[in-house]
A and B are shown apart, each in its own frame.
Chain A
Amino acid sequence: MKRNTPLITLLVGAALGVVLLVASMLTTPSSALPNYSAAAASSAAPASSAAPAESSEAPEPAESSAAASAPAAAPSPAPTRTTPTADFTGRVGGGGGSVAVAVHGDKAIAYVCNGSTVEGWMRGKVEGDKLVLTGKNQTHLTASYHAGKVTGDVEAHGTDYSFSVPTVSKSSSKSSGLYQATAVVQGKTIKAGWIVLGDGTQVGSVEIGESGEKAVTAPKLDVATMTARIGNVVLHAVPVSGVTGSGF
Protein backbone atom coordinates (compact mmCIF):
# COMPACT_ATOMS: atom_id res chain seq x y z
CA MET A 1 0.00 0.00 0.00
CA LYS A 2 2.56 2.47 1.08
CA ARG A 3 4.76 1.57 -1.83
CA ASN A 4 2.07 2.45 -4.28
CA THR A 5 1.08 5.86 -3.08
CA PRO A 6 3.33 7.76 -5.47
CA LEU A 7 1.79 5.80 -8.29
CA ILE A 8 -1.66 6.59 -6.99
CA THR A 9 -0.70 10.26 -6.92
CA LEU A 10 0.36 10.04 -10.52
CA LEU A 11 -2.77 8.23 -11.59
CA VAL A 12 -5.03 10.64 -9.73
CA GLY A 13 -3.28 13.52 -11.43
CA ALA A 14 -3.55 11.85 -14.80
CA ALA A 15 -7.22 11.13 -14.23
CA LEU A 16 -7.81 14.75 -13.22
CA GLY A 17 -6.04 15.83 -16.37
CA VAL A 18 -8.17 13.61 -18.55
CA VAL A 19 -11.36 14.80 -16.91
CA LEU A 20 -10.40 18.43 -17.42
CA LEU A 21 -9.36 17.79 -20.97
CA VAL A 22 -12.64 16.12 -21.81
CA ALA A 23 -14.54 18.88 -20.03
CA SER A 24 -12.63 21.45 -22.05
CA MET A 25 -13.46 19.64 -25.25
CA LEU A 26 -17.11 19.55 -24.32
CA THR A 27 -17.07 23.23 -23.41
CA THR A 28 -15.47 24.38 -26.60
CA PRO A 29 -18.18 25.44 -28.98
CA SER A 30 -18.02 22.68 -31.50
CA SER A 31 -19.46 24.71 -34.30
CA ALA A 32 -16.71 27.23 -33.96
CA LEU A 33 -13.82 24.96 -34.06
CA PRO A 34 -13.90 22.54 -36.93
CA ASN A 35 -12.74 24.93 -39.57
CA TYR A 36 -10.32 26.65 -37.30
CA SER A 37 -8.81 23.51 -35.96
CA ALA A 38 -8.82 21.77 -39.26
CA ALA A 39 -6.98 24.68 -40.67
CA ALA A 40 -4.61 24.72 -37.84
CA ALA A 41 -4.00 21.04 -37.68
CA SER A 42 -0.81 21.23 -39.57
CA SER A 43 2.35 21.23 -37.63
CA ALA A 44 3.07 24.77 -38.60
CA ALA A 45 2.86 26.04 -35.09
CA PRO A 46 -0.64 27.22 -34.74
CA ALA A 47 0.27 30.29 -32.94
CA SER A 48 -3.04 30.86 -31.38
CA SER A 49 -1.33 31.74 -28.29
CA ALA A 50 0.65 34.58 -29.24
CA ALA A 51 -2.28 36.08 -28.13
CA PRO A 52 -2.71 33.96 -25.16
CA ALA A 53 0.23 35.23 -23.58
CA GLU A 54 -0.57 38.67 -24.59
CA SER A 55 -4.14 38.52 -25.27
CA SER A 56 -6.31 35.83 -23.93
CA GLU A 57 -4.77 36.33 -20.61
CA ALA A 58 -3.41 39.62 -21.41
CA PRO A 59 -5.99 42.22 -21.40
CA GLU A 60 -5.40 42.89 -17.82
CA PRO A 61 -5.19 46.48 -16.99
CA ALA A 62 -2.10 48.34 -16.35
CA GLU A 63 -3.09 51.85 -16.93
CA SER A 64 -6.12 53.74 -17.98
CA SER A 65 -8.55 51.98 -15.70
CA ALA A 66 -9.12 54.99 -13.56
CA ALA A 67 -9.46 57.37 -16.41
CA ALA A 68 -11.79 55.09 -18.19
CA SER A 69 -14.87 55.61 -16.16
CA ALA A 70 -15.33 59.11 -17.42
CA PRO A 71 -18.82 59.26 -18.84
CA ALA A 72 -19.12 59.47 -22.53
CA ALA A 73 -21.47 62.32 -22.53
CA ALA A 74 -19.28 64.81 -20.76
CA PRO A 75 -19.24 67.64 -23.22
CA SER A 76 -15.86 68.99 -23.89
CA PRO A 77 -15.65 72.64 -23.01
CA ALA A 78 -14.51 73.59 -26.43
CA PRO A 79 -15.09 70.84 -28.94
CA THR A 80 -11.54 70.74 -30.10
CA ARG A 81 -11.96 68.72 -33.22
CA THR A 82 -8.53 69.39 -34.41
CA THR A 83 -8.65 66.98 -37.28
CA PRO A 84 -11.27 64.93 -39.01
CA THR A 85 -8.96 61.94 -39.08
CA ALA A 86 -7.52 60.19 -36.09
CA ASP A 87 -6.66 56.78 -34.72
CA PHE A 88 -7.08 55.82 -31.10
CA THR A 89 -6.01 52.67 -29.29
CA GLY A 90 -5.85 51.68 -25.68
CA ARG A 91 -7.01 49.36 -22.97
CA VAL A 92 -10.58 49.51 -21.82
CA GLY A 93 -11.39 50.35 -18.24
CA GLY A 94 -10.67 47.42 -15.97
CA GLY A 95 -8.16 46.21 -18.47
CA GLY A 96 -10.30 43.36 -19.77
CA GLY A 97 -9.42 44.16 -23.34
CA SER A 98 -8.48 46.82 -25.78
CA VAL A 99 -10.40 49.12 -28.05
CA ALA A 100 -9.36 50.86 -31.22
CA VAL A 101 -11.23 53.68 -32.94
CA ALA A 102 -10.38 55.01 -36.38
CA VAL A 103 -12.03 58.25 -37.46
CA HIS A 104 -11.87 59.18 -41.11
CA GLY A 105 -13.83 62.23 -42.12
CA ASP A 106 -17.43 61.61 -41.14
CA LYS A 107 -16.98 57.86 -40.83
CA ALA A 108 -15.52 55.78 -38.05
CA ILE A 109 -14.57 52.16 -37.51
CA ALA A 110 -14.00 50.64 -34.12
CA TYR A 111 -12.90 47.30 -32.83
CA VAL A 112 -13.08 46.02 -29.29
CA CYS A 113 -11.41 42.80 -28.29
CA ASN A 114 -10.55 40.92 -25.13
CA GLY A 115 -8.20 38.60 -26.94
CA SER A 116 -10.59 35.70 -27.03
CA THR A 117 -14.34 35.41 -27.38
CA VAL A 118 -15.49 38.95 -26.68
CA GLU A 119 -14.88 41.18 -29.64
CA GLY A 120 -16.66 43.06 -32.32
CA TRP A 121 -16.27 45.36 -35.29
CA MET A 122 -18.38 48.49 -35.52
CA ARG A 123 -18.96 51.18 -38.07
CA GLY A 124 -20.84 54.42 -38.02
CA LYS A 125 -21.01 58.12 -38.48
CA VAL A 126 -19.24 60.94 -36.80
CA GLU A 127 -21.54 63.73 -35.70
CA GLY A 128 -19.73 66.66 -34.22
CA ASP A 129 -17.49 65.12 -31.65
CA LYS A 130 -19.84 62.19 -31.10
CA LEU A 131 -19.40 58.67 -32.37
CA VAL A 132 -22.25 56.20 -32.57
CA LEU A 133 -21.05 52.95 -34.05
CA THR A 134 -22.81 49.64 -34.42
CA GLY A 135 -21.89 46.16 -35.46
CA LYS A 136 -23.19 42.61 -35.63
CA ASN A 137 -24.80 40.99 -32.63
CA GLN A 138 -25.80 44.26 -31.01
CA THR A 139 -22.22 45.33 -30.67
CA HIS A 140 -22.24 49.07 -30.25
CA LEU A 141 -20.10 51.96 -29.18
CA THR A 142 -20.89 55.49 -28.15
CA ALA A 143 -18.14 57.94 -27.52
CA SER A 144 -17.04 61.48 -27.76
CA TYR A 145 -13.71 62.44 -29.06
CA HIS A 146 -11.45 65.34 -28.47
CA ALA A 147 -7.93 66.24 -29.26
CA GLY A 148 -5.81 63.34 -28.24
CA LYS A 149 -8.43 61.12 -26.74
CA VAL A 150 -11.71 59.31 -27.24
CA THR A 151 -13.94 58.48 -24.29
CA GLY A 152 -17.04 56.34 -24.19
CA ASP A 153 -18.66 52.97 -23.73
CA VAL A 154 -18.71 49.89 -25.85
CA GLU A 155 -20.66 46.66 -25.58
CA ALA A 156 -19.81 43.42 -27.32
CA HIS A 157 -21.12 39.93 -26.65
CA GLY A 158 -23.03 41.26 -23.68
CA THR A 159 -19.92 42.67 -22.06
CA ASP A 160 -19.78 46.36 -21.32
CA TYR A 161 -16.60 48.34 -21.23
CA SER A 162 -15.98 52.00 -20.68
CA PHE A 163 -12.85 53.45 -22.09
CA SER A 164 -10.80 56.54 -22.51
CA VAL A 165 -7.98 55.94 -24.91
CA PRO A 166 -5.40 58.17 -26.53
CA THR A 167 -4.49 58.74 -30.12
CA VAL A 168 -1.96 56.45 -31.63
CA SER A 169 1.37 58.06 -31.09
CA LYS A 170 3.56 57.80 -34.10
CA SER A 171 6.68 58.12 -32.05
CA SER A 172 5.96 55.40 -29.51
CA SER A 173 5.57 52.55 -31.93
CA LYS A 174 4.93 52.76 -35.56
CA SER A 175 3.15 49.42 -35.51
CA SER A 176 0.65 50.54 -32.91
CA GLY A 177 -2.83 50.52 -34.32
CA LEU A 178 -5.73 48.42 -35.55
CA TYR A 179 -5.30 45.62 -38.05
CA GLN A 180 -7.63 43.24 -39.76
CA ALA A 181 -7.30 40.18 -41.93
CA THR A 182 -9.82 38.00 -43.62
CA ALA A 183 -9.46 34.61 -45.15
CA VAL A 184 -11.63 31.79 -46.33
CA VAL A 185 -10.79 28.56 -44.62
CA GLN A 186 -12.66 25.49 -45.71
CA GLY A 187 -15.47 27.54 -47.11
CA LYS A 188 -15.88 29.64 -44.00
CA THR A 189 -14.95 33.24 -43.81
CA ILE A 190 -12.79 34.13 -40.89
CA LYS A 191 -12.02 37.65 -39.91
CA ALA A 192 -9.20 38.45 -37.57
CA GLY A 193 -8.64 41.69 -35.75
CA TRP A 194 -5.70 42.87 -33.73
CA ILE A 195 -5.17 45.91 -31.59
CA VAL A 196 -1.51 46.68 -31.09
CA LEU A 197 -0.77 49.17 -28.35
CA GLY A 198 2.03 51.63 -28.12
CA ASP A 199 3.99 49.41 -25.78
CA GLY A 200 3.86 46.64 -28.35
CA THR A 201 1.32 44.47 -26.55
CA GLN A 202 -1.45 43.19 -28.73
CA VAL A 203 -4.78 41.49 -28.43
CA GLY A 204 -6.52 39.78 -31.25
CA SER A 205 -9.45 37.56 -32.01
CA VAL A 206 -10.67 35.61 -34.98
CA GLU A 207 -14.35 35.61 -35.88
CA ILE A 208 -15.42 32.40 -37.46
CA GLY A 209 -18.20 32.55 -39.99
CA GLU A 210 -20.16 35.51 -41.24
CA SER A 211 -22.31 35.91 -38.18
CA GLY A 212 -19.47 37.09 -36.03
CA GLU A 213 -20.93 35.28 -33.06
CA LYS A 214 -18.07 32.91 -32.51
CA ALA A 215 -14.59 34.14 -31.93
CA VAL A 216 -11.39 32.61 -30.69
CA THR A 217 -8.03 33.93 -29.74
CA ALA A 218 -6.13 35.12 -32.76
CA PRO A 219 -2.65 33.92 -33.56
CA LYS A 220 0.00 36.50 -32.84
CA LEU A 221 0.33 39.15 -35.46
CA ASP A 222 3.92 39.54 -36.52
CA VAL A 223 4.01 43.29 -36.96
CA ALA A 224 7.24 43.14 -38.89
CA THR A 225 5.72 41.07 -41.66
CA MET A 226 2.05 41.88 -41.02
CA THR A 227 1.25 38.23 -41.10
CA ALA A 228 -0.15 35.67 -38.74
CA ARG A 229 -0.46 31.96 -39.16
CA ILE A 230 -3.34 29.68 -38.40
CA GLY A 231 -1.83 26.34 -39.10
CA ASN A 232 -0.74 26.47 -42.69
CA VAL A 233 -2.96 29.39 -43.53
CA VAL A 234 -1.16 32.69 -43.56
CA LEU A 235 -3.27 35.70 -42.75
CA HIS A 236 -2.16 38.99 -44.21
CA ALA A 237 -3.15 41.88 -42.05
CA VAL A 238 -3.97 45.34 -43.25
CA PRO A 239 -4.18 48.41 -41.09
CA VAL A 240 -7.47 50.09 -40.39
CA SER A 241 -6.53 53.71 -40.03
CA GLY A 242 -8.47 56.92 -40.13
CA VAL A 243 -5.33 58.87 -40.75
CA THR A 244 -4.43 57.02 -43.91
CA GLY A 245 -7.95 55.97 -44.80
CA SER A 246 -6.87 52.35 -45.01
CA GLY A 247 -9.74 50.00 -44.41
CA PHE A 248 -12.47 52.59 -45.04
Chain B
Amino acid sequence: MTAPPTQPIPLPRKPAASTASLLIVPSLIGALVALALGIYGRVHSPTGIAINIAGFSSPGTVKSWLATGATVFAIVQVGSALVMYGKVPRVTAPEWIGGLHKWSGRIAFLLAVPVAIHCLYALGFQQYSTRVLIHSVFGCLFFGAFTVKMLILPKRGLPGWVLPVAGAVVFTLLVVIWLTSAYWFFSTFGIKA
Protein backbone atom coordinates (compact mmCIF):
# COMPACT_ATOMS: atom_id res chain seq x y z
CA MET B 1 0.00 0.00 0.00
CA THR B 2 2.60 2.46 1.05
CA ALA B 3 4.90 1.31 -1.67
CA PRO B 4 8.02 0.89 0.36
CA PRO B 5 11.21 1.03 -1.61
CA THR B 6 11.91 -2.63 -1.12
CA GLN B 7 13.19 -3.96 -4.39
CA PRO B 8 11.30 -6.94 -5.75
CA ILE B 9 14.07 -7.94 -8.14
CA PRO B 10 12.68 -6.26 -11.20
CA LEU B 11 14.82 -7.61 -13.96
CA PRO B 12 14.19 -11.36 -14.06
CA ARG B 13 10.66 -10.95 -12.95
CA LYS B 14 9.34 -8.89 -15.78
CA PRO B 15 9.86 -11.25 -18.71
CA ALA B 16 8.83 -14.21 -16.60
CA ALA B 17 5.61 -12.50 -15.69
CA SER B 18 4.80 -11.60 -19.25
CA THR B 19 5.51 -15.12 -20.46
CA ALA B 20 3.28 -16.47 -17.76
CA SER B 21 0.55 -14.01 -18.54
CA LEU B 22 0.71 -14.90 -22.20
CA LEU B 23 0.52 -18.59 -21.43
CA ILE B 24 -1.96 -18.66 -18.65
CA VAL B 25 -5.19 -18.19 -20.58
CA PRO B 26 -4.30 -20.65 -23.36
CA SER B 27 -3.15 -23.14 -20.77
CA LEU B 28 -6.34 -22.81 -18.79
CA ILE B 29 -8.43 -23.23 -21.91
CA GLY B 30 -6.38 -26.26 -22.90
CA ALA B 31 -6.78 -27.73 -19.45
CA LEU B 32 -10.52 -27.19 -19.66
CA VAL B 33 -10.63 -28.89 -23.04
CA ALA B 34 -8.76 -31.92 -21.71
CA LEU B 35 -10.92 -32.02 -18.62
CA ALA B 36 -14.14 -31.65 -20.57
CA LEU B 37 -13.21 -34.51 -22.88
CA GLY B 38 -12.28 -36.71 -19.95
CA ILE B 39 -15.45 -35.94 -18.05
CA TYR B 40 -17.60 -36.49 -21.10
CA GLY B 41 -15.83 -39.76 -21.83
CA ARG B 42 -16.35 -40.88 -18.28
CA VAL B 43 -19.90 -39.74 -17.67
CA HIS B 44 -21.41 -40.44 -21.06
CA SER B 45 -22.36 -44.07 -21.31
CA PRO B 46 -20.42 -45.60 -24.14
CA THR B 47 -22.68 -46.84 -26.85
CA GLY B 48 -20.34 -49.18 -28.60
CA ILE B 49 -21.79 -47.74 -31.78
CA ALA B 50 -20.95 -44.69 -33.80
CA ILE B 51 -21.09 -43.74 -37.42
CA ASN B 52 -18.79 -45.84 -39.46
CA ILE B 53 -16.80 -44.81 -42.47
CA ALA B 54 -17.40 -46.74 -45.63
CA GLY B 55 -14.68 -48.88 -47.04
CA PHE B 56 -13.23 -50.25 -43.87
CA SER B 57 -13.96 -53.53 -42.22
CA SER B 58 -14.59 -52.19 -38.75
CA PRO B 59 -14.46 -49.01 -36.70
CA GLY B 60 -11.24 -50.29 -35.22
CA THR B 61 -9.51 -50.39 -38.55
CA VAL B 62 -10.86 -47.00 -39.59
CA LYS B 63 -9.60 -45.47 -36.42
CA SER B 64 -6.27 -47.20 -36.63
CA TRP B 65 -5.68 -45.93 -40.14
CA LEU B 66 -6.83 -42.41 -39.36
CA ALA B 67 -4.64 -42.34 -36.29
CA THR B 68 -1.73 -43.68 -38.28
CA GLY B 69 -2.30 -40.97 -40.88
CA ALA B 70 -2.35 -38.34 -38.18
CA THR B 71 0.86 -39.69 -36.74
CA VAL B 72 2.59 -39.67 -40.12
CA PHE B 73 1.60 -36.05 -40.61
CA ALA B 74 2.79 -35.34 -37.09
CA ILE B 75 6.19 -36.72 -38.02
CA VAL B 76 6.15 -34.32 -40.98
CA GLN B 77 5.40 -31.66 -38.39
CA VAL B 78 8.49 -32.42 -36.40
CA GLY B 79 10.65 -32.68 -39.49
CA SER B 80 9.44 -29.41 -40.95
CA ALA B 81 9.79 -27.69 -37.58
CA LEU B 82 13.38 -28.87 -37.28
CA VAL B 83 14.09 -27.50 -40.73
CA MET B 84 12.42 -24.18 -39.92
CA TYR B 85 14.48 -23.85 -36.79
CA GLY B 86 17.62 -24.64 -38.72
CA LYS B 87 18.27 -27.78 -36.73
CA VAL B 88 18.91 -29.98 -39.72
CA PRO B 89 22.54 -29.68 -40.80
CA ARG B 90 23.10 -28.49 -44.35
CA VAL B 91 19.44 -27.93 -45.03
CA THR B 92 18.19 -24.42 -45.49
CA ALA B 93 14.51 -23.96 -45.02
CA PRO B 94 12.77 -23.74 -48.37
CA GLU B 95 10.06 -21.14 -48.56
CA TRP B 96 7.29 -23.69 -48.71
CA ILE B 97 8.32 -25.25 -45.43
CA GLY B 98 5.97 -23.02 -43.44
CA GLY B 99 3.06 -24.07 -45.60
CA LEU B 100 4.04 -27.70 -45.25
CA HIS B 101 4.18 -27.34 -41.50
CA LYS B 102 0.81 -25.65 -41.26
CA TRP B 103 -1.00 -27.98 -43.59
CA SER B 104 0.49 -31.17 -42.23
CA GLY B 105 -0.60 -30.02 -38.80
CA ARG B 106 -4.09 -29.17 -39.93
CA ILE B 107 -4.48 -32.49 -41.69
CA ALA B 108 -3.12 -34.40 -38.72
CA PHE B 109 -5.55 -32.65 -36.41
CA LEU B 110 -8.53 -33.16 -38.67
CA LEU B 111 -7.67 -36.85 -39.03
CA ALA B 112 -7.47 -37.21 -35.27
CA VAL B 113 -10.85 -35.60 -34.57
CA PRO B 114 -13.07 -38.41 -35.90
CA VAL B 115 -10.99 -40.94 -34.01
CA ALA B 116 -11.45 -39.02 -30.81
CA ILE B 117 -15.16 -38.67 -31.35
CA HIS B 118 -15.53 -42.39 -31.85
CA CYS B 119 -13.46 -43.06 -28.75
CA LEU B 120 -15.46 -40.66 -26.64
CA TYR B 121 -18.86 -41.58 -27.94
CA ALA B 122 -18.60 -45.30 -28.47
CA LEU B 123 -15.98 -46.34 -25.95
CA GLY B 124 -15.59 -43.67 -23.30
CA PHE B 125 -12.86 -42.99 -20.82
CA GLN B 126 -11.76 -46.40 -19.56
CA GLN B 127 -9.24 -47.81 -17.17
CA TYR B 128 -9.55 -51.57 -17.36
CA SER B 129 -5.97 -52.00 -18.46
CA THR B 130 -2.83 -49.94 -18.35
CA ARG B 131 -2.86 -49.47 -22.09
CA VAL B 132 -6.43 -48.26 -22.05
CA LEU B 133 -5.92 -45.98 -19.09
CA ILE B 134 -2.84 -44.39 -20.65
CA HIS B 135 -4.69 -44.02 -23.90
CA SER B 136 -7.68 -42.41 -22.24
CA VAL B 137 -5.62 -39.95 -20.22
CA PHE B 138 -3.24 -39.04 -23.01
CA GLY B 139 -6.04 -38.77 -25.53
CA CYS B 140 -7.67 -36.08 -23.43
CA LEU B 141 -4.35 -34.39 -22.78
CA PHE B 142 -3.51 -34.38 -26.46
CA PHE B 143 -6.47 -32.25 -27.43
CA GLY B 144 -5.83 -29.96 -24.49
CA ALA B 145 -2.19 -29.58 -25.46
CA PHE B 146 -3.10 -29.04 -29.09
CA THR B 147 -5.52 -26.32 -28.05
CA VAL B 148 -2.79 -24.63 -26.06
CA LYS B 149 -0.42 -24.82 -28.98
CA MET B 150 -2.95 -23.30 -31.36
CA LEU B 151 -3.82 -20.53 -28.94
CA ILE B 152 -0.23 -19.51 -28.25
CA LEU B 153 0.89 -19.72 -31.88
CA PRO B 154 -0.25 -16.23 -32.82
CA LYS B 155 1.11 -14.66 -29.66
CA ARG B 156 4.16 -12.47 -29.99
CA GLY B 157 6.77 -11.98 -27.33
CA LEU B 158 7.03 -15.52 -26.12
CA PRO B 159 10.45 -16.94 -25.34
CA GLY B 160 11.85 -19.01 -28.14
CA TRP B 161 11.55 -22.30 -26.30
CA VAL B 162 7.81 -22.16 -25.82
CA LEU B 163 6.62 -23.26 -29.24
CA PRO B 164 9.15 -26.07 -29.61
CA VAL B 165 8.24 -27.36 -26.19
CA ALA B 166 4.54 -27.12 -26.92
CA GLY B 167 5.04 -28.86 -30.24
CA ALA B 168 7.13 -31.58 -28.64
CA VAL B 169 4.49 -32.17 -25.99
CA VAL B 170 1.73 -32.42 -28.57
CA PHE B 171 3.80 -34.77 -30.71
CA THR B 172 4.77 -36.96 -27.78
CA LEU B 173 1.18 -37.26 -26.64
CA LEU B 174 0.06 -38.18 -30.12
CA VAL B 175 2.71 -40.84 -30.46
CA VAL B 176 1.73 -42.33 -27.12
CA ILE B 177 -1.93 -42.47 -28.04
CA TRP B 178 -1.01 -44.00 -31.39
CA LEU B 179 1.16 -46.62 -29.71
CA THR B 180 -1.58 -47.49 -27.25
CA SER B 181 -4.23 -47.77 -29.95
CA ALA B 182 -3.39 -48.20 -33.61
CA TYR B 183 -0.05 -49.85 -33.02
CA TRP B 184 -1.64 -52.15 -30.49
CA PHE B 185 -4.53 -52.83 -32.85
CA PHE B 186 -2.36 -53.64 -35.84
CA SER B 187 0.05 -55.75 -33.86
CA THR B 188 -2.79 -57.64 -32.22
CA PHE B 189 -5.11 -58.16 -35.14
CA GLY B 190 -2.87 -57.67 -38.13
CA ILE B 191 -2.64 -54.84 -40.61
CA LYS B 192 -5.77 -54.71 -42.73
CA ALA B 193 -8.02 -52.20 -44.41
Contacts and interface: CB of A to CB of B under 8 A. Distances in A.
A58 B48 contact: no
Contacts of A2: 154
Contacts of B127: 45
Given A6-B154, A23-B51, A53 B132 contact: yes
A209 B74 CA distance: 45
Contacts of A33: 47
A49 B46 contact: yes
A48 B124 CA distance: 8
Nearest to B123: A49
A49 B124 contact: yes
Contacts of B69: none
Contacts of A9: 105-106, 109, 150
A13 B109 contact: yes
B43 interface: yes
Interface stretch (A35-43, A139-147, A157-165): A35-43
B contact residues, range: 35 or more
B113 A16 contact: yes
Interface string B106-145: 1001100110111011111011110110000000000000
Nearest to B186: A60
B153 A58 contact: no
A57 B114 CA distance: 16
B147 interface: yes
Nearest to B29: A10
Interface in A53-93: 53, 56-62
Secondary structure of the A contact surface, majority rule: helix
Contacts of A21: 117, 120-121
Contact of A56 (B48, B116, B132, B190): B48
Interface in A206-248: 216-217, 220, 231
A46 interface: yes
Interface string B142-170: 00001101110110000000000000000
Contact of B58 (A7, A57, A220): A57
B90 to A, nearest CB: 30
Contact of A17 (B113, B123, B150): B113
Given A16-B110, A49-B46, A49-B123, A56 B59 contact: yes
Given A4-B154, A23-B51, A12 B45 contact: no
Interface in B77-113: 102, 105-106, 109-110, 113
Contacts of A116: 48-49
Contacts of A37: 45, 47
Contact of A28 (B50, B116, B124, B128): B50
A62 B185 CA distance: 12
Interface string A98-127: 000000000000000000110000000000
Pick the 8 closest A-B CB pairs, nearest first. A57-B60, A60-B189, A217-B48, A40-B45, A49-B123, A6-B150, A48-B46, A24-B50
